[in-house]
Amino acid sequence: MGTIKQYSDLRDYIKDAQELIDQNPMLYHFLTETINRVLDKKVKVHKLFRIERDANIIMVLFTTEVCLVYENSFDESLIQLLSDELEFSKFKRYQFAGTKATVDALFKMNDAEYEMQKHRIIYKCEKVSENFITAPGRMEMADIGRLDELIPLSEGFTEEYYGKEDNDGDAATRVITGIQAD
């Protein structure tokens, strides 16, 4: 069985969450983003806690907008404890995000009906082959003079990522806004 650590101070939660985030910043991007929204007082926190068993950790950030459930290594034995601590049976029409295996197991345990809005797959390359050749060149920020190249890239991304064509002209607006914001 795991142990639960409650947080009354957001700074303590952030310190512990940072250990998880540092392992894979892309995977825990939404957690970082939500922590920043809490710090900016854009959302309020309902509950902060951590569940751990041996080296397995689940970090929970439950806000007015979303319940984030992230782990470093899936552990089926911690799901009941997670469900109990969240008082999952009280949830109605709420958004969850986090590590897919843990969120899926939580929903399955509670026979929850849900609709997945978006699932991101993030790959981590541990090592490349010895004959791997890096691409020559350099990265640079987008330039307004290259809209004819950037707009099709944005449209292609929208179609690939969201599964829909971008025929309403939003791509140009997004690209221009992105360049101006830089």
pLDDT bucket at 1, cuts 50 / 70 / 90: confident
70, 99 Cβ separation under 8 angstroms: yes
Q: pTM for the whole thing?
A: 0.70
The per-residue pLDDT for 20 is 87
Question: What's the rounded mean pLDDT across residues 22-39?
Answer: 90
The per-residue pLDDT for 124 is 74
The letter for the amino acid at 143 is D
pLDDT digits (tens, 9 = 90+) for 34-71: 999 999 999 999 999 999 999 999 999 999 999 999 99
The Cα–Cα gap between 10 and 34 comes to 12
Q: State yes or no: pLDDT of 159 exceeds 90.
A: no
For the chain, the straight-line distance linking the first and the last C-alpha, in angstroms and rounded, comes to 48
Spell out the residues 6+ positions from residue 73 whose beta carbon is closer than 8 angstroms to its own: 55, 56, 57
107, 148 Cβ separation under 8 angstroms: no
Q: State yes or no: pLDDT of 91 exceeds 90.
A: no
37, 64 Cβ separation under 8 angstroms: no
| All structural domains of the chain with their residue ranges | 3-109, 144-181
109, 79 Cβ separation under 8 angstroms: yes
pLDDT digits (tens, 9 = 90+) for 107-135: 999 998 888 877 777 777 788 888 888 87
54, 78 Cβ separation under 8 angstroms: no
pLDDT digits (tens, 9 = 90+) for 69-85: 999 999 999 999 999 99
Beginning with the edge strand found earlier in the chain, give each strand of the sheet holding 96-98 in spatial order.
3-6, 45-53, 56-63, 67-71, 96-98
The per-residue pLDDT for 167 is 64
Tell me what percent of the residues of the chain surpass a pLDDT of 90.
48
Q: Number of helices (H) and strands (E) in the chain: give both, helices first.
A: 6, 5
Q: State yes or no: pLDDT of 99 exceeds 80.
A: yes
Q: State yes or no: pLDDT of 182 exceeds 70.
A: no
